[in-house]
Structure 1
Amino acid sequence: MHPLLPSLAAAALYAGATGYQSLRLAQRAVPDRRLLLTVGLLALLAHGISLFIQLISPSGLHLDFFTASSLIAAAVILLILLALYRMPVENLLLLLFPLGCLTVLFAQFAPSGTAPAPAIAEEPGILAHILLSILAYGMLTIAVFQALLLLLQDHHLKHKHPSGLIRNFPPLQTMESLLFGFLWAGWLLLSASLLSGWLFLDDLFAQHLVHKTLLSVVAWIVFGLLLWGRHQLGWRGYKAIRWTLVGFCLLMLAYFGSKLVREFILHI
Protein backbone atom coordinates (compact mmCIF):
# COMPACT_ATOMS: atom_id res chain seq x y z
CA MET A 1 0.00 0.00 0.00
CA HIS A 2 1.26 3.48 -0.88
CA PRO A 3 1.16 6.16 1.84
CA LEU A 4 -0.21 8.85 -0.50
CA LEU A 5 -3.91 8.17 0.07
CA PRO A 6 -3.81 8.02 3.90
CA SER A 7 -1.52 11.07 3.96
CA LEU A 8 -3.98 13.12 1.91
CA ALA A 9 -6.92 11.84 3.98
CA ALA A 10 -5.18 12.82 7.23
CA ALA A 11 -4.28 16.28 5.90
CA ALA A 12 -7.86 16.88 4.69
CA LEU A 13 -9.36 15.81 8.03
CA TYR A 14 -6.90 17.96 10.00
CA ALA A 15 -7.66 20.94 7.76
CA GLY A 16 -11.41 20.39 8.05
CA ALA A 17 -11.26 20.18 11.84
CA THR A 18 -9.15 23.35 11.97
CA GLY A 19 -11.60 25.19 9.72
CA TYR A 20 -14.59 24.10 11.80
CA GLN A 21 -12.96 25.07 15.10
CA SER A 22 -11.79 28.44 13.75
CA LEU A 23 -15.26 29.22 12.39
CA ARG A 24 -16.95 28.40 15.68
CA LEU A 25 -14.50 30.52 17.65
CA ALA A 26 -14.91 33.43 15.20
CA GLN A 27 -18.64 33.20 15.87
CA ARG A 28 -17.87 33.25 19.63
CA ALA A 29 -19.45 29.80 19.93
CA VAL A 30 -18.08 26.70 21.63
CA PRO A 31 -16.91 23.97 19.21
CA ASP A 32 -18.47 20.53 19.66
CA ARG A 33 -15.86 18.52 21.60
CA ARG A 34 -17.26 15.19 20.39
CA LEU A 35 -17.03 16.28 16.77
CA LEU A 36 -13.46 17.52 17.24
CA LEU A 37 -12.52 14.28 18.96
CA THR A 38 -14.13 12.12 16.28
CA VAL A 39 -12.55 13.95 13.34
CA GLY A 40 -9.24 14.12 15.20
CA LEU A 41 -9.21 10.35 15.80
CA LEU A 42 -10.06 9.64 12.15
CA ALA A 43 -7.25 11.99 11.03
CA LEU A 44 -4.87 10.36 13.47
CA LEU A 45 -5.81 6.89 12.20
CA ALA A 46 -5.02 7.90 8.61
CA HIS A 47 -1.85 9.63 9.84
CA GLY A 48 -0.79 6.47 11.66
CA ILE A 49 -1.34 4.27 8.60
CA SER A 50 0.75 6.64 6.49
CA LEU A 51 3.53 6.66 9.10
CA PHE A 52 3.54 2.89 9.43
CA ILE A 53 4.11 2.49 5.69
CA GLN A 54 6.85 5.16 5.67
CA LEU A 55 8.64 3.97 8.82
CA ILE A 56 8.85 0.22 8.36
CA SER A 57 11.61 -1.10 6.10
CA PRO A 58 13.23 -4.54 5.85
CA SER A 59 16.37 -3.24 7.59
CA GLY A 60 14.56 -1.51 10.50
CA LEU A 61 12.90 1.82 11.25
CA HIS A 62 13.46 4.57 8.67
CA LEU A 63 13.42 7.89 10.56
CA ASP A 64 14.46 10.74 8.28
CA PHE A 65 13.90 14.42 9.12
CA PHE A 66 10.34 14.80 7.82
CA THR A 67 9.12 11.37 8.90
CA ALA A 68 10.42 12.00 12.42
CA SER A 69 8.61 15.37 12.46
CA SER A 70 5.39 13.68 11.35
CA LEU A 71 5.77 10.96 13.99
CA ILE A 72 6.26 13.46 16.81
CA ALA A 73 3.28 15.53 15.60
CA ALA A 74 1.11 12.38 15.62
CA ALA A 75 2.28 11.57 19.16
CA VAL A 76 1.46 15.12 20.31
CA ILE A 77 -2.04 15.00 18.82
CA LEU A 78 -2.67 11.56 20.33
CA LEU A 79 -1.68 12.80 23.79
CA ILE A 80 -4.02 15.79 23.54
CA LEU A 81 -6.94 13.73 22.25
CA LEU A 82 -6.48 11.37 25.19
CA ALA A 83 -6.24 14.31 27.60
CA LEU A 84 -9.41 15.81 26.11
CA TYR A 85 -11.50 13.31 28.08
CA ARG A 86 -10.44 14.86 31.40
CA MET A 87 -8.87 18.27 30.77
CA PRO A 88 -9.96 21.49 28.99
CA VAL A 89 -7.28 21.31 26.28
CA GLU A 90 -9.36 21.56 23.11
CA ASN A 91 -7.92 25.01 22.35
CA LEU A 92 -4.53 23.37 21.80
CA LEU A 93 -6.02 21.51 18.84
CA LEU A 94 -6.27 24.83 17.00
CA LEU A 95 -2.45 24.76 16.86
CA LEU A 96 -1.89 21.01 16.71
CA PHE A 97 -4.24 20.06 13.87
CA PRO A 98 -2.45 22.43 11.43
CA LEU A 99 0.86 21.02 12.68
CA GLY A 100 -0.37 17.51 11.90
CA CYS A 101 -1.57 18.61 8.46
CA LEU A 102 1.77 20.20 7.55
CA THR A 103 3.99 17.41 8.86
CA VAL A 104 2.02 14.61 7.18
CA LEU A 105 2.22 16.49 3.85
CA PHE A 106 5.94 17.23 4.25
CA ALA A 107 6.63 13.58 5.10
CA GLN A 108 4.83 12.57 1.91
CA PHE A 109 5.96 15.21 -0.59
CA ALA A 110 9.14 16.94 0.68
CA PRO A 111 12.40 15.70 -0.87
CA SER A 112 14.64 13.60 1.32
CA GLY A 113 18.08 14.81 2.29
CA THR A 114 21.03 14.08 0.03
CA ALA A 115 22.21 11.58 2.59
CA PRO A 116 19.34 9.21 3.47
CA ALA A 117 18.86 8.55 7.17
CA PRO A 118 20.17 5.11 8.15
CA ALA A 119 17.61 2.54 9.25
CA ILE A 120 17.45 1.96 13.00
CA ALA A 121 17.87 -1.58 14.24
CA GLU A 122 14.80 -2.91 16.02
CA GLU A 123 16.51 -3.77 19.31
CA PRO A 124 14.20 -3.52 22.38
CA GLY A 125 16.45 -1.12 24.30
CA ILE A 126 16.92 1.22 21.35
CA LEU A 127 13.19 1.13 20.53
CA ALA A 128 12.42 1.97 24.16
CA HIS A 129 14.80 4.94 23.96
CA ILE A 130 13.15 6.13 20.72
CA LEU A 131 9.66 5.79 22.21
CA LEU A 132 10.61 7.71 25.37
CA SER A 133 12.29 10.42 23.29
CA ILE A 134 9.22 10.85 21.07
CA LEU A 135 6.91 11.03 24.10
CA ALA A 136 9.23 13.55 25.80
CA TYR A 137 9.42 15.76 22.69
CA GLY A 138 5.67 15.42 22.27
CA MET A 139 4.81 16.37 25.83
CA LEU A 140 7.20 19.33 25.83
CA THR A 141 5.81 20.46 22.46
CA ILE A 142 2.37 20.50 24.11
CA ALA A 143 3.87 22.50 26.98
CA VAL A 144 5.30 25.15 24.64
CA PHE A 145 2.01 25.50 22.77
CA GLN A 146 0.26 25.82 26.10
CA ALA A 147 2.79 28.51 27.07
CA LEU A 148 2.03 30.42 23.84
CA LEU A 149 -1.73 30.26 24.51
CA LEU A 150 -1.09 31.40 28.08
CA LEU A 151 0.95 34.33 26.76
CA LEU A 152 -1.87 35.26 24.37
CA GLN A 153 -4.49 34.99 27.11
CA ASP A 154 -2.46 37.10 29.53
CA HIS A 155 -1.91 39.78 26.87
CA HIS A 156 -5.60 40.01 25.98
CA LEU A 157 -6.74 40.09 29.59
CA LYS A 158 -4.27 42.86 30.48
CA HIS A 159 -5.47 44.94 27.54
CA LYS A 160 -9.12 44.04 28.22
CA HIS A 161 -9.81 42.98 24.63
CA PRO A 162 -10.70 39.29 24.90
CA SER A 163 -11.39 37.75 21.49
CA GLY A 164 -13.73 34.85 20.74
CA LEU A 165 -10.81 32.45 21.21
CA ILE A 166 -9.85 33.89 24.60
CA ARG A 167 -13.45 33.79 25.84
CA ASN A 168 -13.37 30.01 25.43
CA PHE A 169 -10.17 29.59 27.44
CA PRO A 170 -10.26 28.15 30.98
CA PRO A 171 -9.31 30.58 33.80
CA LEU A 172 -5.71 31.82 33.79
CA GLN A 173 -4.83 29.79 36.89
CA THR A 174 -6.11 26.60 35.23
CA MET A 175 -4.11 27.35 32.09
CA GLU A 176 -0.97 27.82 34.18
CA SER A 177 -1.60 24.61 36.12
CA LEU A 178 -1.96 22.73 32.83
CA LEU A 179 1.34 24.20 31.62
CA PHE A 180 3.27 22.96 34.64
CA GLY A 181 1.53 19.60 34.50
CA PHE A 182 2.76 19.17 30.92
CA LEU A 183 6.24 20.39 31.93
CA TRP A 184 6.49 17.89 34.79
CA ALA A 185 5.40 15.01 32.54
CA GLY A 186 7.75 16.11 29.74
CA TRP A 187 10.72 16.53 32.10
CA LEU A 188 10.21 13.08 33.62
CA LEU A 189 9.94 11.51 30.16
CA LEU A 190 13.06 13.39 29.04
CA SER A 191 14.88 12.10 32.13
CA ALA A 192 13.86 8.53 31.24
CA SER A 193 14.92 9.12 27.62
CA LEU A 194 18.39 10.30 28.62
CA LEU A 195 18.77 7.41 31.06
CA SER A 196 17.71 4.86 28.43
CA GLY A 197 20.15 6.40 25.95
CA TRP A 198 22.96 6.05 28.46
CA LEU A 199 21.99 2.40 29.08
CA PHE A 200 21.30 1.18 25.55
CA LEU A 201 23.32 3.31 23.11
CA ASP A 202 26.95 2.34 22.60
CA ASP A 203 28.38 5.86 22.93
CA LEU A 204 26.20 8.91 23.67
CA PHE A 205 29.18 11.16 22.91
CA ALA A 206 30.06 9.70 19.54
CA GLN A 207 30.71 12.33 16.86
CA HIS A 208 27.20 12.12 15.36
CA LEU A 209 25.49 12.18 18.80
CA VAL A 210 27.55 14.59 20.88
CA HIS A 211 25.64 17.78 19.95
CA LYS A 212 22.30 16.06 20.44
CA THR A 213 23.38 14.69 23.82
CA LEU A 214 24.82 17.95 25.14
CA LEU A 215 21.87 20.11 24.01
CA SER A 216 19.39 17.58 25.42
CA VAL A 217 21.17 17.64 28.78
CA VAL A 218 21.19 21.46 28.81
CA ALA A 219 17.46 21.46 27.96
CA TRP A 220 16.87 18.96 30.79
CA ILE A 221 18.69 21.30 33.20
CA VAL A 222 16.67 24.32 31.98
CA PHE A 223 13.34 22.54 32.48
CA GLY A 224 14.53 21.22 35.84
CA LEU A 225 15.46 24.73 36.99
CA LEU A 226 12.08 26.03 35.84
CA LEU A 227 10.22 23.37 37.83
CA TRP A 228 12.43 24.06 40.87
CA GLY A 229 11.78 27.80 40.52
CA ARG A 230 8.04 27.16 40.35
CA HIS A 231 8.11 25.00 43.47
CA GLN A 232 10.57 27.02 45.55
CA LEU A 233 10.20 30.59 44.28
CA GLY A 234 6.70 30.64 42.84
CA TRP A 235 7.79 31.41 39.27
CA ARG A 236 4.87 32.03 36.94
CA GLY A 237 3.70 34.27 34.11
CA TYR A 238 6.26 35.64 31.68
CA LYS A 239 9.22 34.12 33.51
CA ALA A 240 7.77 30.61 33.25
CA ILE A 241 6.89 31.15 29.59
CA ARG A 242 10.41 32.40 28.74
CA TRP A 243 12.10 29.43 30.43
CA THR A 244 9.72 27.05 28.66
CA LEU A 245 10.54 28.55 25.27
CA VAL A 246 14.31 28.46 25.93
CA GLY A 247 14.22 24.81 26.99
CA PHE A 248 12.07 23.87 24.01
CA CYS A 249 14.38 25.63 21.53
CA LEU A 250 17.37 23.77 22.96
CA LEU A 251 15.56 20.46 22.70
CA MET A 252 14.46 21.05 19.12
CA LEU A 253 18.00 22.06 18.18
CA ALA A 254 19.26 18.88 19.81
CA TYR A 255 17.15 16.61 17.63
CA PHE A 256 15.91 18.43 14.55
CA GLY A 257 18.87 20.79 14.27
CA SER A 258 21.41 17.98 14.25
CA LYS A 259 19.22 15.86 11.95
CA LEU A 260 18.77 18.75 9.51
CA VAL A 261 22.50 19.44 9.38
CA ARG A 262 23.43 15.76 8.95
CA GLU A 263 20.86 14.93 6.26
CA PHE A 264 20.75 18.16 4.24
CA ILE A 265 24.06 19.98 4.80
CA LEU A 266 26.85 17.60 5.79
CA HIS A 267 25.31 14.59 3.98
CA ILE A 268 26.38 12.08 6.63
Structure 2
Amino acid sequence: MQVLPFAFLAIAFYLGAGSWQSLVLLRRVPARPVLVRGLGLLAVACHTVVVASALRELGEVSLGISASASLISWLVAILLVLTSFIKPVLSAAAGLFPLAALTIVLATELPVGSHPAGLTPGIMVHVLTSILAFALFAIAAVQAMLLARQNQALRRHHTRGLVQSLPPLTAMERVLFELIWAGMILLTVSLISGMLFIDNMFAQHLVHKTVLSLAAWVIFAALLAGRHFFGWRGARAARWTLGGCLLLLLAYFGSKFAIEVVFHDV
Protein backbone atom coordinates (compact mmCIF):
# COMPACT_ATOMS: atom_id res chain seq x y z
CA MET A 1 0.00 0.00 0.00
CA GLN A 2 1.23 3.48 -0.86
CA VAL A 3 1.58 5.34 2.44
CA LEU A 4 2.44 8.78 1.06
CA PRO A 5 -1.14 9.77 0.04
CA PHE A 6 -2.40 8.88 3.51
CA ALA A 7 0.44 10.88 5.06
CA PHE A 8 -0.50 13.94 2.98
CA LEU A 9 -4.18 13.56 3.90
CA ALA A 10 -3.38 13.18 7.60
CA ILE A 11 -1.21 16.31 7.50
CA ALA A 12 -3.95 18.26 5.72
CA PHE A 13 -6.67 17.15 8.16
CA TYR A 14 -4.49 17.83 11.21
CA LEU A 15 -3.57 21.30 9.94
CA GLY A 16 -7.19 22.05 9.04
CA ALA A 17 -8.49 21.03 12.48
CA GLY A 18 -5.64 22.73 14.32
CA SER A 19 -5.96 25.95 12.31
CA TRP A 20 -9.70 26.17 12.89
CA GLN A 21 -9.28 25.64 16.62
CA SER A 22 -6.54 28.28 16.69
CA LEU A 23 -8.89 30.75 15.02
CA VAL A 24 -11.56 29.83 17.57
CA LEU A 25 -9.16 30.70 20.39
CA LEU A 26 -8.44 34.02 18.68
CA ARG A 27 -12.18 34.65 18.34
CA ARG A 28 -11.89 34.86 14.54
CA VAL A 29 -14.37 32.07 13.78
CA PRO A 30 -17.20 30.44 15.78
CA ALA A 31 -16.53 27.26 17.73
CA ARG A 32 -17.25 24.14 15.67
CA PRO A 33 -16.32 21.18 17.87
CA VAL A 34 -18.01 18.73 15.50
CA LEU A 35 -15.88 20.02 12.63
CA VAL A 36 -12.64 19.86 14.64
CA ARG A 37 -13.42 16.37 15.93
CA GLY A 38 -14.45 15.20 12.47
CA LEU A 39 -11.24 16.46 10.86
CA GLY A 40 -9.29 15.04 13.79
CA LEU A 41 -10.83 11.60 13.35
CA LEU A 42 -10.10 11.67 9.61
CA ALA A 43 -6.52 12.66 10.37
CA VAL A 44 -6.18 9.86 12.92
CA ALA A 45 -7.58 7.33 10.43
CA CYS A 46 -5.03 8.33 7.79
CA HIS A 47 -2.27 8.55 10.40
CA THR A 48 -3.11 4.98 11.44
CA VAL A 49 -2.05 3.75 8.02
CA VAL A 50 1.29 5.57 8.36
CA VAL A 51 1.93 4.11 11.83
CA ALA A 52 0.85 0.59 10.81
CA SER A 53 3.15 0.69 7.81
CA ALA A 54 6.13 1.66 9.96
CA LEU A 55 5.42 -1.13 12.44
CA ARG A 56 4.87 -3.68 9.67
CA GLU A 57 8.12 -2.80 7.92
CA LEU A 58 10.09 -3.19 11.12
CA GLY A 59 8.22 -6.20 12.44
CA GLU A 60 8.72 -4.87 15.96
CA VAL A 61 7.64 -2.08 18.28
CA SER A 62 11.07 -0.58 18.89
CA LEU A 63 11.24 2.43 16.56
CA GLY A 64 13.61 5.25 15.80
CA ILE A 65 13.12 8.84 16.92
CA SER A 66 11.02 10.02 13.98
CA ALA A 67 8.75 6.97 13.89
CA SER A 68 8.38 7.04 17.69
CA ALA A 69 7.32 10.69 17.56
CA SER A 70 4.75 9.81 14.90
CA LEU A 71 3.40 6.91 16.99
CA ILE A 72 3.12 9.04 20.13
CA SER A 73 1.47 11.94 18.32
CA TRP A 74 -1.03 9.47 16.86
CA LEU A 75 -1.92 8.27 20.36
CA VAL A 76 -2.10 11.86 21.60
CA ALA A 77 -4.55 12.74 18.82
CA ILE A 78 -6.72 9.70 19.58
CA LEU A 79 -6.82 10.46 23.30
CA LEU A 80 -7.51 14.14 22.66
CA VAL A 81 -10.45 13.49 20.34
CA LEU A 82 -11.96 10.81 22.57
CA THR A 83 -11.48 12.83 25.76
CA SER A 84 -13.02 15.90 24.12
CA PHE A 85 -16.40 14.13 24.08
CA ILE A 86 -16.51 14.19 27.89
CA LYS A 87 -14.01 16.90 28.93
CA PRO A 88 -13.30 20.43 27.62
CA VAL A 89 -9.86 19.68 26.16
CA LEU A 90 -10.46 20.39 22.48
CA SER A 91 -8.63 23.73 22.73
CA ALA A 92 -5.40 21.74 22.99
CA ALA A 93 -5.93 20.67 19.37
CA ALA A 94 -4.64 24.09 18.32
CA GLY A 95 -1.15 23.05 19.38
CA LEU A 96 -1.18 19.26 19.29
CA PHE A 97 -2.69 18.65 15.84
CA PRO A 98 -0.09 20.76 13.95
CA LEU A 99 2.60 19.01 16.00
CA ALA A 100 1.18 15.64 14.91
CA ALA A 101 1.36 16.83 11.30
CA LEU A 102 5.02 17.75 11.81
CA THR A 103 5.85 14.29 13.17
CA ILE A 104 4.35 12.72 10.05
CA VAL A 105 6.57 14.92 7.89
CA LEU A 106 9.61 13.84 9.89
CA ALA A 107 8.60 10.17 9.83
CA THR A 108 8.23 10.17 6.03
CA GLU A 109 11.41 12.18 5.38
CA LEU A 110 13.88 10.82 7.91
CA PRO A 111 15.27 7.28 7.98
CA VAL A 112 13.59 5.03 10.50
CA GLY A 113 15.95 3.39 12.93
CA SER A 114 15.22 0.37 15.07
CA HIS A 115 16.87 -1.99 17.47
CA PRO A 116 15.97 -5.45 18.73
CA ALA A 117 12.89 -5.23 20.90
CA GLY A 118 12.89 -8.56 22.72
CA LEU A 119 9.34 -7.93 23.89
CA THR A 120 8.07 -10.07 26.73
CA PRO A 121 4.62 -9.51 28.27
CA GLY A 122 6.21 -7.53 31.11
CA ILE A 123 8.18 -5.28 28.78
CA MET A 124 5.08 -4.86 26.63
CA VAL A 125 3.24 -3.48 29.69
CA HIS A 126 6.16 -1.13 30.28
CA VAL A 127 6.18 0.10 26.67
CA LEU A 128 2.42 0.63 26.42
CA THR A 129 2.06 2.40 29.76
CA SER A 130 5.08 4.60 28.98
CA ILE A 131 3.63 5.74 25.66
CA LEU A 132 0.13 6.28 27.05
CA ALA A 133 1.50 8.22 30.02
CA PHE A 134 3.53 10.42 27.70
CA ALA A 135 0.48 11.02 25.52
CA LEU A 136 -1.63 12.11 28.49
CA PHE A 137 1.08 14.40 29.79
CA ALA A 138 1.46 15.93 26.32
CA ILE A 139 -2.21 16.92 26.45
CA ALA A 140 -1.71 18.15 30.02
CA ALA A 141 1.23 20.31 28.88
CA VAL A 142 -0.88 22.19 26.32
CA GLN A 143 -3.71 22.42 28.84
CA ALA A 144 -1.24 23.93 31.33
CA MET A 145 -0.06 26.52 28.80
CA LEU A 146 -3.64 27.56 28.06
CA LEU A 147 -4.40 27.67 31.78
CA ALA A 148 -1.38 29.89 32.44
CA ARG A 149 -2.38 32.28 29.65
CA GLN A 150 -5.98 32.34 30.89
CA ASN A 151 -4.89 32.97 34.47
CA GLN A 152 -2.58 35.79 33.39
CA ALA A 153 -5.32 37.44 31.33
CA LEU A 154 -7.81 37.29 34.19
CA ARG A 155 -5.31 38.80 36.61
CA ARG A 156 -4.92 41.71 34.22
CA HIS A 157 -8.70 41.93 33.85
CA HIS A 158 -8.55 41.01 30.16
CA THR A 159 -11.79 39.16 29.63
CA ARG A 160 -11.91 39.14 25.85
CA GLY A 161 -10.23 37.06 23.17
CA LEU A 162 -8.70 33.83 24.44
CA VAL A 163 -10.43 33.99 27.83
CA GLN A 164 -13.85 34.11 26.20
CA SER A 165 -13.12 31.09 24.02
CA LEU A 166 -11.88 28.85 26.84
CA PRO A 167 -13.95 27.04 29.49
CA PRO A 168 -14.06 28.62 32.98
CA LEU A 169 -10.76 28.66 34.86
CA THR A 170 -12.01 26.18 37.46
CA ALA A 171 -12.99 23.71 34.71
CA MET A 172 -9.60 24.11 33.03
CA GLU A 173 -7.82 23.40 36.32
CA ARG A 174 -10.02 20.40 37.08
CA VAL A 175 -9.31 18.84 33.69
CA LEU A 176 -5.58 19.52 34.06
CA PHE A 177 -5.36 17.65 37.35
CA GLU A 178 -7.51 14.80 36.04
CA LEU A 179 -5.04 14.40 33.18
CA ILE A 180 -2.13 14.49 35.62
CA TRP A 181 -3.71 11.87 37.88
CA ALA A 182 -4.35 9.54 34.95
CA GLY A 183 -0.83 10.12 33.61
CA MET A 184 0.68 9.50 37.06
CA ILE A 185 -1.06 6.13 37.38
CA LEU A 186 0.29 5.03 34.01
CA LEU A 187 3.75 6.46 34.70
CA THR A 188 3.89 4.61 38.02
CA VAL A 189 2.99 1.32 36.34
CA SER A 190 5.57 2.04 33.65
CA LEU A 191 8.36 2.68 36.17
CA ILE A 192 7.53 -0.37 38.28
CA SER A 193 7.25 -2.69 35.26
CA GLY A 194 10.50 -1.32 33.85
CA MET A 195 12.36 -2.02 37.09
CA LEU A 196 10.88 -5.51 37.29
CA PHE A 197 11.22 -6.70 33.71
CA ILE A 198 14.14 -4.84 32.10
CA ASP A 199 17.42 -6.64 32.73
CA ASN A 200 20.85 -5.02 32.81
CA MET A 201 19.68 -1.44 32.48
CA PHE A 202 23.25 -0.13 32.22
CA ALA A 203 24.03 -2.28 29.19
CA GLN A 204 20.86 -1.05 27.48
CA HIS A 205 21.74 2.63 28.09
CA LEU A 206 18.45 3.23 29.90
CA VAL A 207 19.78 4.76 33.13
CA HIS A 208 19.27 8.36 32.00
CA LYS A 209 15.72 7.56 30.88
CA THR A 210 14.89 6.01 34.24
CA VAL A 211 16.44 8.86 36.25
CA LEU A 212 14.62 11.54 34.25
CA SER A 213 11.33 9.62 34.43
CA LEU A 214 11.69 9.27 38.20
CA ALA A 215 12.45 12.98 38.49
CA ALA A 216 9.30 13.75 36.48
CA TRP A 217 7.32 11.40 38.74
CA VAL A 218 8.59 13.27 41.82
CA ILE A 219 7.59 16.62 40.29
CA PHE A 220 4.08 15.44 39.47
CA ALA A 221 3.72 13.80 42.88
CA ALA A 222 4.81 17.06 44.56
CA LEU A 223 2.32 18.99 42.42
CA LEU A 224 -0.54 16.68 43.38
CA ALA A 225 0.46 16.89 47.05
CA GLY A 226 0.68 20.67 46.82
CA ARG A 227 -2.75 20.77 45.23
CA HIS A 228 -4.24 18.60 47.98
CA PHE A 229 -2.57 20.16 51.03
CA PHE A 230 -1.88 23.73 49.97
CA GLY A 231 -4.39 24.36 47.20
CA TRP A 232 -1.82 24.99 44.46
CA ARG A 233 -3.45 26.23 41.28
CA GLY A 234 -3.14 28.64 38.39
CA ALA A 235 0.31 29.65 37.18
CA ARG A 236 2.12 27.57 39.80
CA ALA A 237 0.31 24.41 38.74
CA ALA A 238 1.06 25.20 35.10
CA ARG A 239 4.78 25.70 35.77
CA TRP A 240 5.14 22.44 37.67
CA THR A 241 3.20 20.59 34.98
CA LEU A 242 5.40 21.95 32.20
CA GLY A 243 8.54 21.16 34.19
CA GLY A 244 7.51 17.54 34.65
CA CYS A 245 6.50 17.22 31.00
CA LEU A 246 9.86 18.63 29.87
CA LEU A 247 11.68 15.98 31.91
CA LEU A 248 9.54 13.25 30.33
CA LEU A 249 10.28 14.65 26.89
CA LEU A 250 14.00 14.47 27.64
CA ALA A 251 13.61 11.01 29.17
CA TYR A 252 11.96 9.48 26.11
CA PHE A 253 13.47 11.31 23.17
CA GLY A 254 16.76 12.01 24.94
CA SER A 255 17.20 8.27 25.47
CA LYS A 256 16.30 7.63 21.83
CA PHE A 257 18.91 10.19 20.74
CA ALA A 258 21.52 8.66 23.04
CA ILE A 259 20.88 5.13 21.79
CA GLU A 260 20.65 5.96 18.10
CA VAL A 261 23.21 8.75 17.78
CA VAL A 262 25.59 8.69 20.75
CA PHE A 263 25.85 4.92 21.13
CA HIS A 264 25.04 4.16 17.45
CA ASP A 265 22.84 1.29 18.60
CA VAL A 266 20.58 1.08 15.55
TM-score by length of 1: 0.92
Tell me, yes or no, if the aligned pair for 1:59 and 1:119 is still in contact at 8 Å. Answer: no
Other-structure match for 2:44: 44
Other-structure match for 1:117: 114
Match of 1:219 among 211, 216, 222: 216
Alpha carbons of 1:104 and 1:234: their partners in 2 closer, same or farther (altered >3 Å)?
same
**Residue deviations 1:38-64, cap 9 Å, x none?**
111110011111001012246522410
TM-superposed deviation, 1:25: 4.3
Whole-angstrom distance in 1 between the partners of 2:190 and 2:62: 20
Whole-angstrom distance in 2 between the partners of 1:226 and 1:63: 32
Other-structure match for 1:160: 157
Whole-angstrom distance in 1 between the partners of 2:247 and 2:47: 27
1:56 partner SS: helix
Tell me, yes or no, if the aligned pair for 1:139 and 1:183 is still in contact at 8 Å. Answer: yes
Other-structure match for 1:89: 89
TM-superposed deviation, 1:27: 4.5
Alpha carbons of 1:206 and 1:217: their partners in 2 closer, same or farther (altered >3 Å)?
farther
Match of 1:209 among 203, 206, 209: 206
Q: Which amino acid aligns with 1:240?
A: A
Structure 1 runs not aligned, ≥5 long? none
1:60 partner SS: coil
Q: Which moved more, 1:197-206 or 1:95-104?
A: 197-206
TM-superposed deviation, 1:132: 0.5
**Residue deviations 1:6-61, cap 9 Å, x none?**
11110011111223333444444432111111111110011111001012246522
Task: Report percent identity of matched pairs.
Answer: 43
Q: Which amino acid aligns with 2:134?
A: Y
1:137 and 2:134 aligned? yes
Other-structure match for 1:73: 73
Other-structure match for 1:104: 104
Whole-angstrom distance in 2 between the partners of 1:110 and 1:144: 26
> How many equivalent residue pairs?
265
TM-superposed deviation, 1:205: 4.3
Alpha carbons of 1:160 and 1:211: their partners in 2 closer, same or farther (altered >3 Å)?
same
Taking only aligned residues, the RMSD between alpha carbons, in angstroms, comes to 1.8
Whole-angstrom distance in 2 between the partners of 1:164 and 1:11: 28
Alpha carbons of 1:29 and 1:164: their partners in 2 closer, same or farther (altered >3 Å)?
farther
Whole-angstrom distance in 2 between the partners of 1:117 and 1:154: 43
Q: Which amino acid aligns with 1:249?
A: L
**Residue deviations 1:137-163, cap 9 Å, x none?**
011111111110001111222223345
Other-structure match for 1:173: 170
TM-superposed deviation, 1:173: 1.0
Other-structure match for 1:264: 261
Match of 1:127 among 118, 124, 127: 124
TM-score by length of 2: 0.92
Tell me, yes or no, if the aligned pair for 2:27 and 2:165 is still in contact at 8 Å. Answer: no
Tell me, yes or no, if the aligned pair for 2:11 and 2:101 is still in contact at 8 Å. Answer: yes
Q: Which amino acid aligns with 2:224?
A: L
TM-superposed deviation, 1:225: 1.1
